[in-house]
Chains A and B, each alone.
Chain A
Amino acid sequence: KQEVTQIPAALSVPEGENLVLNCSFTDSAIYNLQWFRQDPGKGLTSLLLIQSSQREQTSGRLNASLDKSSGRSTLYIAASQPGDSATYLCAAPNYPGQNFVFGPGTRLSVLP
């Protein structure tokens, strides 16, 4: 069964910093991985869906990479802003083609 972990659990940075959030998964036989953002008490907003064939996906200041061989994905946020403050979750398939398993999330605070 797929297990997903995220490091760090919480992160606090000053505005303007570039930062990296990490996601690890145990079953590397996946063909995609999805990153989400969640504001307090709200639903999940999809940020990036990265396919294993792509290895990398970009949207604005966000860049996600996927390394199946090492069981890792990273989310890079450039020039962080206070509006980026939220919890970031990654999700990997339980096994190819089946439902996503979610990590516990990284709670990010960007200080003005």
Chain B
Amino acid sequence: ETGVTQTPRHLVMGMTNKKSLKCEQHLGHNAMYWYKQSAKKPLELMFVYNFKEQTENNSVPSRFSPECPNSSHLFLHLHTLQPEDSALYLCASSQVKQTTDGYTFGSGTRLTVV
């Protein structure tokens, strides 16, 4: 499988649940990103990882916890979320933490918090 794969595609969780989003890329890229897309809002950058190291946390609440065990995998651990966290969560990757070669996105995980 090629490109950037996100699982699950859809997730419904209660506010007391703990769940994780997964992103995997088969492009040999070294930088990975989490973005949040809420209705009628521009894409918001959440986290950036470059060679497994977190290089940016865009003031994201601690109920979102990223993990990057290697350059091919990125997780977003979720706990005690709020209904306003319902959104499309998108993962992207690039060759390195620069925009030189552009970004490749996954299909996203549609998260609903009830």
Contacts and interface: CB of A to CB of B under 8 A. Distances in A.
The contact size tier of chain B is: 20 to 34
Contacts, number: 56
B105 A97 contact: no
B42 A103 contact: yes
A76 interface: no
User: For chain A, what secondary structure do more than half of its interface residues adopt (helix, strand, loop), or is it mixed?
Assistant: strand
Nearest to A95: B99
Nearest to A104: B42
A100 B103 contact: yes
Interface string A16-31: 0000000000000001
Given A99-B45, A99-B48, A104-B42, A43 B99 contact: no
A84 B99 CA distance: 26
A103 to B, nearest CB: 7
Contact of A43 (B42, B56, B101, B108): B108
Interface of A: 4, 31-32, 34, 36, 41-46, 49, 89, 91, 93, 97-105
Interface of B: 4, 6, 33, 41-43, 45, 48, 56, 88, 90, 92, 97-108, 110
Q: Which 9 A-B pairs have the closest CB atoms?
A: A49-B102, A102-B43, A43-B107, A44-B105, A97-B98, A43-B105, A93-B99, A43-B108, A104-B42
